[in-house]
């Protein structure tokens, strides 16, 4: 009988004012859907990568330079190593159909059969054939950008002349799922970098006999379980044979870049759903607290009739569980659909040859558990409060709160001018202070909505600032010329004399491994003139410094990676195995990549055969950039021309996908704000129904009463906006900090206008969220409310 009575009451409670509970259901649904979509997409992509790595034997360790034959023999004999492949890899100028040039990469493969390590998936055409010594395979990214198809003619610079090649097919490689040239250049402009897979003899001819080769090592499953130990042993053995660089699978540029994206999915799978579930908890808590207050007399009657406390607790707890279960069931279904869509869209965007989409019971169970737990925890406090109500006291009804009036009276005494405020202003100020708990509910909803909105908008601002910092403040050149022969003074003077060119500076690039203690990091030392005007060196403290005459400037990420500080000595292991020592002159803080910088003279002391291989060019103000670019690209010895403005434009285009993400998050933030504010503000109006009816009966017009209630609600929302903006700024910094690495570094930079627009957006949403309640206020039945009050 007891259970039957309470079940009837529960059904009636759910039917009464359902909009408030529906808003909580929507919040739970959104939170669980976001969790399911982001977590399953993360798991799908990770599983897809691992399956691809296994099928095409993606190298666990790549060793460059030294006696590669001896290194390969030593590695193949180690327990835990399944296969070793020796190959030639070189970065050389490439010419595409139509005459466009770029600095690309040739990778040697055995003709006629796939290599033992780092195999490729043929997407169109045919694999390399010994009968076609100049037939090559084009990576899918450069094939799409340059329109390469089987039979297309391309060319590679072999150090003396352009060597004509023919495309046999297009392929996808586990090494270049993301077309990253290096860890220092993970975002090359489309058409500025590409990979050709060529027969190994052809790769040796293009790279030159003296070019270092690579040994790519693939582990067994057992070897991968002790990968760190095996990496260290193989690296040490390779160094004894003169190897210059060792790159683990985790450090491989493409894999590292995609791992950062996977990390972003895992962050998203926790942070944003948590905001929605917290907001849902606030909504459920507010609705049930109001219901407990409304049912005070009923609770007293039930308790006096012999109902146990735990029975009353279970009754009100059931409402929260019902809300959580309904929302999580809908959210799980939506999340499963979204996860597959996100996985396929992402796979198509990066050219992933195969995507795996699966339904995971753990995700379904976790989504249901999260939703039910959010509803149950939110309902626990109101349910416990209901059980603590003494029957005799409850049956006397609710005593109106008066605390706000006392506080305002003290304000009037302390500030004489406050006493002259009109009655309407006192009514607006009195409402929030009478029920501080109710006011805090509303402010909490505002804070949650602002955190989500500001994190999304703040990431957008910070990303734009990152692009501007790199291409407007640090890299000052307008274009970069890649040279096919060593630069001399006459050639540099001829470049500087080109019409439209204001200045030209030589630059050299030497791949090195920076070592300190037992740690090492593969990067590039960039050599520049001592008084360079083309590159600014920004320090971690926000200042600027010049290029030191002696020593090296390191990217700030190496301070922690290598455990070094200014004044320390580091080793510079060159590609041919030679090692130089250098003093750390300081650190630079740059958004993209982690380079080392030195003067051309200092670089020549470490690597005497390193000659300037590029020229940095600045144009005259108002110069015809297109005409100057064509003139520079046509100069003898210039094999590639890169426009710095095109690189910046490319970065902006890369951000377009991020802008879509931000727009979705902003829409979700607005929906979160609307639903949680609708729940809290409608409860506010419901609790004050008798008071507002009394004012109507006293002659206060509907419009004036609506304006007073609106002013009160917006005052509370504006008060919640202050902590919301502060917490949103902190959350933005924490979220961006999770993405910082040696590949890319973000500074949290949010425009003042973003704070203002975010606050205005939440206020506008609050205004819209209260409209249904105000319409109900206009339709209120004064007689019914007075009778309810009398009862």
Helix (H) or strand (E) run with residue 247 in it: strand 245-248
On the question of pLDDT at 106 being above 60, the answer is yes
Measure the CA–CA gap between 765 and 761, rounded to whole angstroms: 6
User: Mean pLDDT, to the nearest integer, of 272-296?
Assistant: 70
On the question of pLDDT at 35 being above 70, the answer is yes
If you write DSSP's letter for every residue of 60-125 in order, what string do you get?
Answer: SEEEESS-HHHHHHHHHTSTTEEEEEEEEEEEEEEE-TTS-EEEEEEEEE-TTS--SSS--EEEEE
pLDDT of residue 74: 93
Which distant-in-sequence residues (6+ apart) come within 8 Å of 66 by Cβ? 212, 238, 239, 241, 242, 243, 244, 577
* Assigned token pair, 363: 């995700």
165-189: per-residue pLDDT in tens? 999 999 999 999 888 888 877 777 6
656-683: per-residue pLDDT in tens? 656 666 676 677 777 777 777 777 677 6
User: Mean pLDDT, to the nearest integer, of 381-400?
Assistant: 63
134-150: per-residue pLDDT in tens? 999 999 989 988 889 99
pLDDT of residue 368: 87
Model confidence at 48, pLDDT cuts 50, 70, 90, reads confident
Measure the CA–CA gap between 671 and 765, rounded to whole angstroms: 9
Angstrom CA distances, 244 to 71, 462, 527, 576, stand at 12, 37, 19, 6
pLDDT of residue 132: 92
On the question of pLDDT at 411 being above 50, the answer is no
559-588: per-residue pLDDT in tens? 988 899 999 999 988 876 678 899 999 999
pLDDT of residue 616: 92
If you write DSSP's letter for every residue of 717-740 in order, what string do you get?
Answer: HHHHHHHHHHHHHHHHHHHHHTT-
Measure the CA–CA gap between 259 and 58, rounded to whole angstroms: 15
Measure the CA–CA gap between 447 and 441, rounded to whole angstroms: 10
| Most confident region among 194-203, 727-736, 743-752 by mean pLDDT | 194-203
pLDDT of residue 166: 95
Which distant-in-sequence residues (6+ apart) come within 8 Å of 182 by Cβ? 253, 524, 593
On the question of pLDDT at 350 being above 70, the answer is no
Place of tokens 């005052």: 715
Q: Which of 113-122, 236-245, 284-293, 449-458 bottoms out in mean pLDDT, i.e. has the lowest?
A: 284-293
pLDDT of residue 407: 52
52 or 434: which carries more pLDDT confidence? 52
Place of tokens 């972003």: 264
Measure the CA–CA gap between 533 and 547, rounded to whole angstroms: 11
User: Mean pLDDT, to the nearest integer, of 403-426?
Assistant: 52
On the question of pLDDT at 374 being above 90, the answer is no
Spell out where 556-713 has E strands. 569-574, 579-588, 596-599, 614-619, 638-643
Bridge partners, residue 580, by sequence:
572
On the question of pLDDT at 625 being above 70, the answer is yes
pLDDT of residue 690: 63
How many percent of the chain have pLDDT more than 90? 24
Which candidate, 453, 419, 265, places its Cα nearest to that of 342? 265
Measure the CA–CA gap between 571 and 552, rounded to whole angstroms: 11
Model confidence at 402, pLDDT cuts 50, 70, 90, reads very low
pLDDT of residue 399: 47
Tell whether pTM > 0.85.
no
Question: Is 498 within 8 Å of 635 (Cβ atoms)?
Answer: yes
pLDDT of residue 784: 57
753-785: per-residue pLDDT in tens? 989 988 888 888 878 877 776 676 666 555 555
On the question of pLDDT at 369 being above 80, the answer is yes
192 or 233: which carries more pLDDT confidence? 233
User: Quick one: CA torsion of 111, 117, 123, 126, rounded to 10 degrees?
Assistant: 10
463-512: per-residue pLDDT in tens? 888 878 888 888 888 888 888 777 777 778 888 888 999 999 999 988 88
pLDDT of residue 69: 92
On the question of pLDDT at 405 being above 60, the answer is no
On the question of pLDDT at 720 being above 60, the answer is yes
Which distant-in-sequence residues (6+ apart) come within 8 Å of 422 by Cβ? none
Measure the CA–CA gap between 150 and 137, rounded to whole angstroms: 9
On the question of pLDDT at 289 being above 80, the answer is no
């Amino acid at each position: 009988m007891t259970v039957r009575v309470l079940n009837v009451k529960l059904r009636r409670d759910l039917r009464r004012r359902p909009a408030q509970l529906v808003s909580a259901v929507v919040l739970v649904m959104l939170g669980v859907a976001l969790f399911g979509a982001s977590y399953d997409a993360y798991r799908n992509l990770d599983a897809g990568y691992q399956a691809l790595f296994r099928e095409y034997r993606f190298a666990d360790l790549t060793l460059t330079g030294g006696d590669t034959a001896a290194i390969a023999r030593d590695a193949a004999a180690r327990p835990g190593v399944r296969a070793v492949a020796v190959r030639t890899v070189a970065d050389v100028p490439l010419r595409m159909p139509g005459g466009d040039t770029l600095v690309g990469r040739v990778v040697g493969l055995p003709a006629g059969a796939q290599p033992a390590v780092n195999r490729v998936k043929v997407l169109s055409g045919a694999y390399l054939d010994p009968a076609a010594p100049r037939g090559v395979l084009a990576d899918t990214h450069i094939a799409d950008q340059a329109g390469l198809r089987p039979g297309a003619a391309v060319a590679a610079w072999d150090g003396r002349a352009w060597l004509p090649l023919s495309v046999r097919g297009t392929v996808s490689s586990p090494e270049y799922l993301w077309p990253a040239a290096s860890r220092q250049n993970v975002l090359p402009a489309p058409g500025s970098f590409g990979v050709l897979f060529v027969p190994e003899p052809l790769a040796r001819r293009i790279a030159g006999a003296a070019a270092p080769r690579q040994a790519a090592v693939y582990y067994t499953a057992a070897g991968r379980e002790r990968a760190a130990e095996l990496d260290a042993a193989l690296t040490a053995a390779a160094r004894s044979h003169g190897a210059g660089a060792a790159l683990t699978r985790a450090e491989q540029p493409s894999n590292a870049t995609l791992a950062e994206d996977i990390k972003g999915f895992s962050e998203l799978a926790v942070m944003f759903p948590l905001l929605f579930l917290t907001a849902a908890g606030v909504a459920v808590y507010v609705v049930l607290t109001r219901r407990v207050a409304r049912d005070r007399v009923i609770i007293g009657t039930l308790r006096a009739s012999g109902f146990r406390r735990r029975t009353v607790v279970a009754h009100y707890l059931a409402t929260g569980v019902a809300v959580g279960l309904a929302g999580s069931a809908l959210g799980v279904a939506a999340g499963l659909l979204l996860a597959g869509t996100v996985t396929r869209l992402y796979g198509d965007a990066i050219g992933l040859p195969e995507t795996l989409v699966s339904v995971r019971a753990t995700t379904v169970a976790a989504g249901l558990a999260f939703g039910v737990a959010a509803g149950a925890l939110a309902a626990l406090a109101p349910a416990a409060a209901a059980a603590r109500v003494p029957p005799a006291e409850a049956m006397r009804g609710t005593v109106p709160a008066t605390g706000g009036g006392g506080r305002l009276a003290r304000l009037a005494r302390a500030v004489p001018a406050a006493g002259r405020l009109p009655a309407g202003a006192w009514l607006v100020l009195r409402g929030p202070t009478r029920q501080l708990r109710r006011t805090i509910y509303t402010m909490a909803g505002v804070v949650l909505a602002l955190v989500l909105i500001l994190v999304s908008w703040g990431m957008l601002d910070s990303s734009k600032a990152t692009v501007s910092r790199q291409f407007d403040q640090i890299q000052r050149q307008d274009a970069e010329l890649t040279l096919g022969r060593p630069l001399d003074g006459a050639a540099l003077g001829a470049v500087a004399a080109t019409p439209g060119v204001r200045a030209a500076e030589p630059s050299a690039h030497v791949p090195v491994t920076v070592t300190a203690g037992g740690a090492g990091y593969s990067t590039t030392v960039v050599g520049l003139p001592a008084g360079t005007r083309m590159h600014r060196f920004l320090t971690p403290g926000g200042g600027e410094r010049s290029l030191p005459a002696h020593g090296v400037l390191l990217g700030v990420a190496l301070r922690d990676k290598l455990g070094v500080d200014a004044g320390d000595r580091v080793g510079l292991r060159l590609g041919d195995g030679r090692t130089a020592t250098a003093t750390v002159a300081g650190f630079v803080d740059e958004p993209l990549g982690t380079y080392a910088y030195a003067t051309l003279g200092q670089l020549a002391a470490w690597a005497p055969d390193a000659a300037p291989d590029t020229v940095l060019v600045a144009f005259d103000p108002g110069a015809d950039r297109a005409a100057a670019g064509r003139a520079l690209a046509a100069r003898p010895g210039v094999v590639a021309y890169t426009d710095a403005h095109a690189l910046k434009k490319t970065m902006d285009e890369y951000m377009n996908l991020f802008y879509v993400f931000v727009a979705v998050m902003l829409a979700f933030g607005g929906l979160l704000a609307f639903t949680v504010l609708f729940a809290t503000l409608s409860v506010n109006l419901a609790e004050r129904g008798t008071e507002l009816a009394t004012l109507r009966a006293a002659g206060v017009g509907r419009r004036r009463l609506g304006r007073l209630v609106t002013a009160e609600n917006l005052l509370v929302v504006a008060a919640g906006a202050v902590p919301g903006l502060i917490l949103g700024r902190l959350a933005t910094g924490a979220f961006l900090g999770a993405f910082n690495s040696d590949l890319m570094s973000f500074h949290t930079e949010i425009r003042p206008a973003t704070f203002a627009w975010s606050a205005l957006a939440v206020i506008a949403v609050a205004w819209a969220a209260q409209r249904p309640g105000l319409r109900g206020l206009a339709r209120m039945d004064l007689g019914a409310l007075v009778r309810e009050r009398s009862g």
